[in-house]
Amino acid sequence: MRILILGGDGYLGWPTVMHFAARRHEVLAVDNYLRRTIAQQTRSEALMANPNLNTRAELFAAASGHDIQVEIGDCADFRFLEDIVARFSPEAIIHYAEQPSAPYSMMGFAEAQRTLNNNLNATFNVIWAVLTRAPQCHIVKLGTMGEYGTPNIDIEEGWIQIEHKGRKDKFLYPRQAGSLYHTTKVLDTDLLWFYVRTYGIRVTDLMQGPVYGLSTEGADLDDRLLPNFHYDDIFGTLVNRFLVQAVAGIPLTVYGKGGQVRGYLNLKDTLQCVTLAVEKPAASGELRILNQFTELFSVNQLAERVQHVGSQMGFDAQVRAIENPRKEKEEHYYNPVHQGLLELGLQPHYMTDEVLAKMLAQVARYKDRIDSAKIMPRVRWAVPAKAASASGAKD
Ligand SMILES: NC(=O)c1ccc[n+]([C@@H]2O[C@H](COP(=O)([O-])OP(=O)(O)OC[C@H]3O[C@@H](n4cnc5c(N)ncnc54)[C@H](O)[C@@H]3O)[C@@H](O)[C@H]2O)c1
């Protein structure tokens, strides 16, 4: 198949690009390096150096024999994206090209505006490029489990039947996100649903939990093919921060009570899930929503897991609760359904002690590059004194 991967330089995008190329699909990767730009502006650079997309494509071709096409450009620019879709004529588009940091989206006006404009324009342009240039193309969009928030009822897979005053109907499951970034994903889903039910495009919206891991078949070929690994408070996920803290001998920082539960998955399972979605596409006029995670952990459970495996490897990892910079429930009910991808054939890779040990060993090889000043929270869920934040980021 011809597969267009938007955000192909990113943490998920780059391994996805290698994965589909290795499966002998024709792959075109697009990125505008927004992630690298913001990381530099906020002093949140990745732990390992990642060569640029063109260089990585060349390294991968040399190591594997599989070609990857690359275009550098902005998906929020409709003419650019429309032209790519017209020329490449994709059968599937995997859309990762968004600003994915919740803390960044909460820094101030400029960062919030950039997140809103970038994410909604990119999704809107993908929809219109498909409508006008490739109407049969299947859009596989990365959403997030964070769209649902933490409601005090079971979370269904995208949809809910509601009975009201004796009548019934099916609706998108209610969503109440906890950051502006997550809210842009809610708005994306609404846009996609509007165009699916009105113009009959085909869409899979993957409600993904936080992803962890560095190892994939492609990345294991050469350290220069590793996905980006951020451990700071802006781009670093909880698991990455804990791994780096354990290796650096800094206490693992739990935000508040640590009872926040989320659904996690291994990077290898993200690759499986998008492959299943692409190779078993949604029908025309269908918005297929799948909850994409394999295991639930609370923040405290993850801290204990990393501490336990770390101590077996000789790392002195302490755990320390700090004031929560976010507005979120620190203890709550959480019971999301996640049957759809298992029914499509997903075979989960769980977070075993071996998996944690392998990640800790990988981080330890780069221990001298850890900058401990990047780890503590710099962003609070509060209106900054001035609308423009101190980061100097501009749109
Ligand atoms: N990583 C996770 O744990 C996770 C969890 C749930 C959902 N997601 C979603 O998956 C997607 C990918 O996440 P990621 O962790 O790989 O993030 P990432 O920032 O590493 O990757 C996104 C890539 O998209 C690019 N990009 C952003 N806007 C662009 C634009 N307008 N034009 C071209 N390229 C653009 C960035 O430069 C970056 O390389 C995001 O949509 C994110 O919301 C990620």
| Cα 16 to middle of ligand 1, angstroms | 12
Residue 395: the pLDDT is 37
Side chain identity at 249, as an amino acid letter?
G
Residue 386: the pLDDT is 64
Residue pLDDT tens, the chain, 395 long: 999 999 999 999 999 999 999 999 999 999 999 999 999 999 999 999 999 999 999 999 999 999 999 999 999 999 999 999 999 999 999 999 999 999 999 999 999 999 999 999 999 999 999 999 999 999 999 999 999 999 999 999 999 999 999 999 999 999 999 999 999 999 999 999 999 999 999 999 999 999 999 999 999 999 999 999 999 999 999 999 999 999 999 999 999 999 999 999 999 999 999 999 999 999 999 999 999 999 999 999 999 999 999 999 999 999 999 999 999 999 999 999 999 999 999 999 999 999 999 999 999 999 999 999 999 999 999 987 665 554 544 43
Contact, 359 vs 212, CB < 8 A? yes
Catalytic residue of the set 11, 104, 148, 181: 181
C-beta neighbour count of 337 within 10 angstroms: 12
C-beta neighbour count of 79 within 10 angstroms: 10
Residue 383: the pLDDT is 86
DSSP E strand stretches across the chain: 2-6, 26-31, 69-72, 92-95, 138-144, 159-164, 167-172, 202-208, 211-212, 252-255, 261-266, 287-292, 295-298, 319-322
| Cα 327 to middle of ligand 1, angstroms | 23
Ligand 1 atom with the shortest distance to the CA of 34: 37
| Cα 292 to middle of ligand 1, angstroms | 16
User: Which of 279, 305, 304, 296 minimizes the C-alpha distance to 357?
Assistant: 305
Burial (0-12, 13-18, 19+ Cβ within 10 Å), 120: middle
Atom 34 of ligand 1, nearest CA residue: 31
Our measurement of the distance from residue 287's CA atom to the centroid of its chain's CA atoms, rounded to an integer in Å, reads 20
Ligand 1 atom with the shortest distance to the CA of 99: 27
User: Which of 96, 124, 109 minimizes the C-alpha distance to 34?
Assistant: 96
Is the C-beta atom of 34 inside 6 A of ligand 1?
yes
| Cα 13 to middle of ligand 1, angstroms | 7
| Residue spans of alpha helices (H) in 9-52 | 13-22, 34-41
Query: Does residue 185 have an active-site annotation?
Result: yes
Atom 21 of ligand 1, nearest CA residue: 10
Query: Does residue 115 have an active-site annotation?
Result: no
Distances in Å between the Cα of 136 and the Cα atoms of 5, 132, 143, 201, 304 are 17, 10, 21, 7, 47
Atom 39 of ligand 1, nearest CA residue: 10
Q: Which pair of tokens denotes residue 378?
A: 């710099």
Q: Which pair of tokens denotes residue 207?
A: 């409600």
Atom 20 of ligand 1, nearest CA residue: 10
Catalytic residue of the set 141, 148, 150, 185: 185
Our measurement of the distance from residue 347's CA atom to the centroid of its chain's CA atoms, rounded to an integer in Å, reads 20
Whole-number Å distance between alpha carbons of 316 and 335: 34
Query: Does residue 11 have an active-site annotation?
Result: no
C-beta neighbour count of 307 within 10 angstroms: 20
Q: Which of 6, 12, 71, 216 for mutating ligand 1's site (highest number of atoms within 8 Å of CB)?
A: 12
Residue partners of 145: CB distance under 8 A and separation at least 6? 155, 207, 208, 209, 262, 263, 291, 292, 293, 336
The three-state secondary structure class of 57 is helix
Catalytic residue of the set 16, 115, 144, 270: 144
Residue 131: the pLDDT is 98
| pTM of the full structure | 0.97
Whole-number Å distance between alpha carbons of 316 and 179: 33
| Cα 100 to middle of ligand 1, angstroms | 5
